[in-house]
Amino acid sequence: MTKILVTGGHGQLASCIREVAADTEAYQFVYVDYDELDITKEIEVERFLATGFFQFCVNCAAYTAVDKAESEPEMAKKINVDGVLNLAKACKSHQIKLIQISTDFVFDGFQSIPYDENITTNPLGVYGKTKLCGEKAITDLLEEYFILRTSWLYSGYGHNFLKTMLNLAGERESLSVVCDQIGTPTYGIDLANVILGIIRNNTDKYGCYHYSNEGVASWYDFTKAIVELSGLECKVLPIMSYDYPTPAKRPFFSVFDKTKIKTNLGIEIPYWRDSLKTCLQNNS
């Protein structure tokens, strides 16, 4: 039986994996959070992976507080770089395939065509820099790895933009949302299915891949769709980023070119609005 370790086991993406993997009897998923496995402790990681007989490790553990990272760079580095390096070392020692989740924040967002995996990275803030350094820790050490960069992740689990907007739209008459940051929302269940597909197929087409849902939207567009599909009465107003300053700079354009993942892994990617509708229906 294939045995898979999932770190960050109480988080949003791990919860999505738990949902899609619920009926997979041929696989044994082991979900751990920091209270069971602190990935920042090298000896603890080595000991845990040495005795687990895992074939895959899916690292969903991360420091994801983008703005807070600007004032807590050491904490972000500890989890997003040191923790990833510890996992990579242990995976190499025990022939475990590592699946690492990364982000659109490794790019600066200054170009106007979709980003493929070969475009030069240039993160603007601490979060993106630490995630990129985590990627490098893997690529410098491992050959059997998958780095999945994703964007604007949401689901019915954890804390995310969708749930925040639903709560606010239910309380307020209007919401002001930035309209000049462009990307693609990604349904966590769709990403979890991609991860499960990699494990099922046991493919050897290793490397870095971009994955988001299909299509393009601004945060304003995303919020408009959330409100409309939920049947809420809240009015959504567009504003510019300079009207809503944040500690961390965000990429203005982070649309992915997903040709590589569709070609190499043979997957079909749902349109973002269709996935949003599915998510809302499943969590109503």
> Which residues are known catalytic residues?
127
Output the six-digit token pair for 135.
């990627």
Query: Position 167: which residue type?
Result: N
For residue 32, the SS3 value is: strand
Give dist(CA 95, CA 144) in Å, integer.
Answer: 8
Give dist(CA 44, CA 54) in Å, integer.
Answer: 15
For residue 105, the SS3 value is: helix
Residue 201, number of CB atoms within 10 A of its CB: 11
Sign of CA dihedral 223, 224, 227, 228: negative
